[in-house]
Amino acid sequence: MTPTILWFRRDLRLGDHPALLAAAEQGPVLPLFVLDDALLGPSGRPRRDYLFRSLRALDADLRAHGPGLVVRKGRPEQVVPELAAEIGAGAVHVSADFGPYGAARDARVEEALDVPLTRTGSPYAVGPGRLRTGGGKPYQVFTPFYRAWVEHGWRAPAASDPAAVDWVGASGVALPEAASGDEPVGEAAARERWEAFRGTPYDDIRDRPDLDETSRLSPALRWGEIHPRTVLAGLDLRRPHDETFRRELAWREFYAHVLHAWPESARSYFRPELRALPYVTGTERERRLAAWTAGRTGYPIVDAGMRQLLAEGWMHNRVRMIAASFLVKDLHVEWTYGARHFMRHLVDGDLASNQHNWQWVAGCGTDAAPYFRIFNPTTQGRKFDPDGVYARRWIPELDSPDYPEPIVDHATQRAEALTAYQLIRGNR
């Protein structure tokens, strides 16, 4: 029978995998991953290592049923058609990628292939672009999107079964070694994480970085080790906590939907009027960015978060908001610089969620926080890390003379940010 290729990208799992089902229906399946320098090059170490470890987990799962994952290196528009020709594949199956890079890459691959590129499923419960307002436009505001998303609903998890697939292999390159990281990764770990988290009183803990009890599913969702549908199917909506959690999952879907409708919003201001705000430039910007990225601003909650990002490639949501606000409104560095640093290091780095959360904090995105709502890093720290447990976890020298004095005075910078904002509002 003619084999097909299943090309894995943001779907590093075998369960609840509609594209796997579609591929297996056509014949024997060759599982492929392409190491693409365009994506790996700009990635920081924790992010790359997470991917390599997740690929190892996928390979081990595949080896339980066949020859394992075929890894090739190069530009997908060359590598995928070459392999398809080599094995005489009848089709290449993928889960659809809606990001600007992924969609353009897939169009190039499709163009270069002599056989169909078949897209089945996506990393979302409801595919981006599917929901429209009554007037036929893409949603720009979260709450009506959320209502439409819930009303639309989603399919039950797909019954893909790797044991029932006729897997085939081919030559490939070795998977790169991960230099760091010891958290469990891969599909089984993601499912275990989800099972362990289910039933948590989410509303009570979600803003507390010191407790560190959020689901930590973001990397697994980013790399598709678990599908959001699997998670949604496990919620008990009689519990208010589960309803709050579902809203958080919907933010991820909302931002993917916004990025799909406005691909340029990955780089440019959703509200262009805020582009006129004065930002620091040149060596002063570099000095401030260096202190912020190294976690040496003298504001413990900001510094703890930035150090956690470098060490683990992850940061608690509340701290992401505080650290991002501090960069934009206290240090007056344009949000795009911070967003780039986050994308490089976050193991869950996702263009839609990252850029749009940054725009939300900077006051220039969809549903943005009003510009004048400025996070106070000291009171936020007192409220959400009341005993300084989180700060001390990441800043061993916190109580010693080695810890820096505050790089700026928050009250002064806040006043400056507000004056600049009033000025550009007045100029409109």
CA dist 208 → 205, 214, 216, 246, 309 (Å): 5, 9, 13, 19, 17
**Closer of 113 and 249 to ligand FAD (Cβ):** 249
The reply on whether position 214 binds ligand FAD by CB under 6 A is yes
Instruction: Choose which of 8, 194, 269, 342 interacts with ligand FAD (CB under 6 A).
Output: 342
Per DSSP, the residues of 224-236 read TSS-HHHHHHT--
The reply on whether position 358 binds ligand FAD by CB under 6 A is yes
**Closer of 232 and 346 to ligand FAD (Cβ):** 346
The reply on whether position 349 binds ligand FAD by CB under 6 A is yes
* One-letter identity of residue 78: Q
Subset of 240-269 contacting ligand FAD (CB under 6 A): 248-249, 251-252, 255
Cβ distance 278 to 420 under 8 Å? yes
* One-letter identity of residue 148: A
Greatest Cα pair distance in the chain? 72
**Closer of 14 and 323 to ligand FAD (Cβ):** 323
The reply on whether position 158 binds ligand FAD by CB under 6 A is no
The reply on whether position 375 binds ligand FAD by CB under 6 A is no
Subset of 72-131 contacting ligand FAD (CB under 6 A): none
- Shortest Å distance, C-beta 238 to ligand FAD: 19
> Interface with ligand FAD by CB under 6 A: which range of 157-165, 213-221, 376-384, 394-402?
213-221
- Shortest Å distance, C-beta 218 to ligand FAD: 3
The reply on whether position 226 binds ligand FAD by CB under 6 A is no
The reply on whether position 346 binds ligand FAD by CB under 6 A is yes
Cβ distance 359 to 265 under 8 Å? yes
Strand order in the sheet with 117-119: 70-73, 29-35, 4-7, 92-94, 117-119
- Shortest Å distance, C-beta 159 to ligand FAD: 24
The reply on whether position 361 binds ligand FAD by CB under 6 A is yes
> Interface with ligand FAD by CB under 6 A: which range of 52-60, 101-109, 145-153, 315-323?
315-323
Distance CA 3, CA 181 (A): 36
> Interface with ligand FAD by CB under 6 A: which range of 32-40, 62-70, 85-93, 215-223?
215-223
Q: Which residue blocks in 90-208 are alpha helix, DSSP H?
A: 100-112, 142-152, 187-197, 202-205
The reply on whether position 320 binds ligand FAD by CB under 6 A is yes
Report the DSSP beta bridge partners of residue 32: 7, 70
Distance CA 325, CA 292 (A): 12
| CA dihedral sign of residues 27, 31, 37, 42 | positive
29: left (phi over 0), alpha (psi -120 to 50) or beta: beta
The reply on whether position 215 binds ligand FAD by CB under 6 A is yes
Task: Please report, as ranges, the residues that interact with ligand FAD according to CB under 6 A.
Answer: 206, 214-218, 221-222, 248-249, 251-252, 255, 316-317, 320-321, 324, 342, 346, 348-350, 353-354, 357-358, 361
